[in-house]
Amino acid sequence: MRRRTLAASLGAAAVAATAVPGTAGAKTSGRCEDAYTWRNAVVNGGGYVPSIVFNETEADLIYARTDIGGLYRWQEDTQTWTPLLDWVGWDNWGWSGVVSVATDPVETGRVYAAVGTYTNDWDPSPGAVLYSDDYGKTWGAAELPFKQGGNMPGRGMGERLAVDPADNAVVYLGTPNGNGLWRSVDHGRNWSEVDNFPNPGNFVQDPSGDYSDDNQGVVWIEFDQAGRIFVGVADPADPLYVSDDRGQTWQPVPGAAQIGTVDGNKAIPKQAAIDHANGHLFIVTSWDPGPYNGGPATGKGGAVWRLDLATGAWTDVTPAYSPTGKTPGFGGVTVDRQRPGTLMAASENNWYPDEIIYRSRDSGATWETSWDYAFDANWSWPPARADRFTMDPSGSEWLSFGAKDDGVAYAVKHGWMIDALAIDPHDSDRIMWGTGATIWGTERLTEWDAQGPLVGWDAVAGHQVALPVEQFTVAVRAEGLEETAVQDIAALGGTLVSATGDLGGFVQTDLGKAGKQIRRPDWSSGRSVDFAALNPDVVVGTGDVHGDVDGHVGVSVDRGATWLTTKRLEGVAGGANAGTVAVSADGAVIVWTPGDNATAPVFSTDLGQTWTPVEGLPAGAKVRADRVDANRLYAFAAGKVYASGNGGLTFTATAATGLPSEGDVDLRAVPGKRKHLWLVGGKADGVYGMWRSTDGGVSWRRIRDFEEADAVGFGKGRGRRGYPAVYTSAKAGGQRGIWRSTDEGLSWQRINDDAHQWAWTGKAVTGDPDVYGRVYIATNGRGLIYGDIAP
């Protein structure tokens, strides 16, 4: 195998993660006249957390990595998470996907993050290893000659990064797609392939798709106290290697091949943990790399194995009992450093009724479960359910997803996709686990051990009974970690409505608290929102829907407090066909463009109960309403602008030319200004930028300050009668940023800075109608950011 060596791309120059004043490009060359403070509109989590890593030597030093939203460090004094990668900018947006994190056990300020979001062509950039010497306050980057998959299948396996505790200048990285095992000997600055490592892995989840066809590769690295290095490989026939000479030579671990199958299903070693005191290496395996799939069609989906590091003996210590009678596979595994012999593991996607968390206090010989069934004498369904702890979603009440407890299926669950499972190595009472939506945790874990069995036998009645136990509480531990992918924003003034990927959307009247989730209609992902400018009680939105019952369009007549379902449009299937929606300024007409790119826009005058085809618009046209004149609506499609003067019933193409005919384009109408429109978007190497019209889209003037622009919105103007402030996510003079104009686009100032870039911000930007200077920014994984002028 040829040797590949890579030098750090930034050398000694670190990327600062501290605030500095923004420098305006375009027509303004100085500093922004207003300093800004940046916060999140709180949701608390909202996305998948694949891993939580505690430092082994410094108490309360904890990192959580996300698949698209960067890396976070725990703040013990506030019990919140601090984002560490907000400096990642537009050109390297893929670095917001973190596939692994390692925290140095020797010099604890050192931390490493392996980044890169997709290994296919969705992400054009190669991956990198980011390195920091100061707990993530500043960073350097070593680019790699291959991609990494922070949002690909298998991203919950690992950790793929590991610091050698015997020589902390040495850091290892396991990689996918045949790239093998890599090593740095200078604290992550330079990397080279370990050319004598013999196996780059071969397990592919599904070779038929370009998202699922990764060779999962080299999965994790662990060090024992004898100085040996163990490496897990996604190869069912040869899954484990060891080096006892500091990585100079490598050998397959004898007997390891037996862990590569379970009930006839191929299995790979997803995670591992070493109990140093007892000399045990624990490995959880699964038939699937995760994080989406449940169990296989037949048989068990995974196992827990124990390797005696002194004798080399293997023991299958898979829990013998599951309340559901099945083992879909395993996600996370963790050991208790303070209590040798104690370990825990989590099922991976035991969808009904809940995930199962297992705990053993005898090195896997016996296990207890986090919940159990108690059947009556007739084995009636549903049985009673007995639980060791209660789930407290306070502050994140949306975690019920609008459901109610239904027998054994609770509305608020242990979670799903539990690959992140970690007992604090300094405190046996603290555990955290990540799910597809949040982080759960408790500081009362050892109360489990005093509870005894959950279910007993009533000999008189002749059936099982739930035994009384003193439950402890598990609560949300995601405060400060914001991971939603925001699709659209509507700022009504005092109320903020957002459409979000995976979660539908939120309505917030207090930006410091998680708002009301939009659950009816039953959106999986919200796609667009709008409100009637002259009657802002009327709010509309679209979302991808589950099944074929609810319509894609939702309507509220009370500022989002409650939502009405609309009629499903015949011929438009459920799923990802939400498209975009607009409502006339008086709220009388709703115009919806389905997202199937085959169905022409339709309008409704009865809050979505009936739909009528719009005349004059092609499929896929994006429609916006004039913010003053209820009869006027506008649309854009394939380089053409259309206008309606009869409330959106019919449209006619204007004579506009020179606008983008390719790429993503957005059109927005200006509050308080009849016929005023702004348009942004286009395609790189083509027509791309920003334009404005003051005559209803008939003629357009290009804003030449920007070579690229992707989102535009409006907020309160500087003076009482001033033109609304204009905000945009755009590129001026080679500088990407969030820009503001207070003089109708005559001059612009960049209001963010290099420490606050949030990767990709091209989906939506808007101001606030009541608060001058406030701007809301949709990010793809860092939630809904808002900025205010600093006092």
State the DSSP string of 446-515. GGGGGT--SEEEETTTTEEEEPP---EEEEE--TT-B--BEEEEEE-SS-EEEEETTTEEEEES-TTS--
pLDDT at 592: 97
Q: Note whether 93 and 462 are within 8 A (CB).
A: no
Extended strands (E) in 638-695: 640-644, 652-653, 664-669, 677-682, 688-693
553/609 Cα distance (integer angstroms): 10
Q: Note whether 531 and 497 are within 8 A (CB).
A: yes
| Residue corresponding to tokens 């449009």 | 569
| Mean pLDDT for the stretch of residues 744-766 | 97
- pLDDT at residue 309 is higher than 60: yes
- pLDDT at residue 225 is higher than 80: yes
pLDDT at 721: 76
Q: What is the pTM of this model?
A: 0.95
Q: Which residues contact 468 (CB under 8 A, 6 or more apart)?
A: none
Q: Chain centroid to CA 365: how far? A: 36
Contacts by residues 119-125 (CB-CB < 8 Å, ≥ 24 positions apart) = 119/147, 119/148, 119/149, 119/152, 119/176, 119/177, 119/214, 120/147, 120/210, 120/211, 121/210, 123/93, 123/94, 123/97, 123/147, 124/94, 125/91, 125/92, 125/94, 125/95
- The 504-508 sheet, strands edge to edge: 486-491, 496-500, 504-508, 516-517
- pLDDT at residue 301 is higher than 50: yes
pLDDT at 31: 61
- pLDDT at residue 438 is higher than 90: yes
**Signed CA dihedral, 399, 401, 403, 408: sign only:** negative
Q: How confident is the model at residue 28 (pLDDT cuts 50, 70, 90)?
A: very low
| Mean pLDDT for the stretch of residues 731-738 | 96
579/53 Cα distance (integer angstroms): 39
CA triple 442-447-452, angle to 5 deg? 135
pLDDT at 297: 87
| Mean pLDDT for the stretch of residues 229-236 | 98
| Mean pLDDT for the stretch of residues 758-765 | 98
Question: Which amino acid would we find at residue 301?
Answer: G
pLDDT per residue as tens digits for the range 643-701: 999 999 999 999 999 999 999 999 999 999 999 999 999 999 999 999 999 999 999 99
Which uninterrupted H or E stretch holds 732?
strand 725-732
The percent of residues above 70 in pLDDT, for the chain, comes to: 96
- pLDDT at residue 19 is higher than 70: no
- Of residues 522 and 734, the one with the higher pLDDT is 734
Choice among 287-291, 443-447, 721-725 with the minimum mean pLDDT: 721-725
- pLDDT at residue 298 is higher than 80: yes
- pLDDT at residue 42 is higher than 70: yes
| Mean pLDDT for the stretch of residues 573-592 | 92
pLDDT at 204: 96
pLDDT per residue as tens digits for the range 45-68: 999 999 999 999 999 999 999 999
Q: Which residues participate in catalysis according to the annotation?
A: 67, 502
- pLDDT at residue 120 is higher than 70: yes
| Mean pLDDT for the stretch of residues 354-382 | 96
- Of residues 10 and 568, the one with the higher pLDDT is 568
pLDDT at 1: 32
Nearest to 601 by CA among 586, 622, 583: 622
pLDDT per residue as tens digits for the range 148-184: 999 999 999 999 999 999 999 999 999 999 999 999 9
174/157 Cα distance (integer angstroms): 11
Q: What is the mean pLDDT of the chain?
A: 94
pLDDT at 565: 85
Q: How confident is the model at residue 27 (pLDDT cuts 50, 70, 90)?
A: low
Q: Note whether 714 and 724 are within 8 A (CB).
A: yes
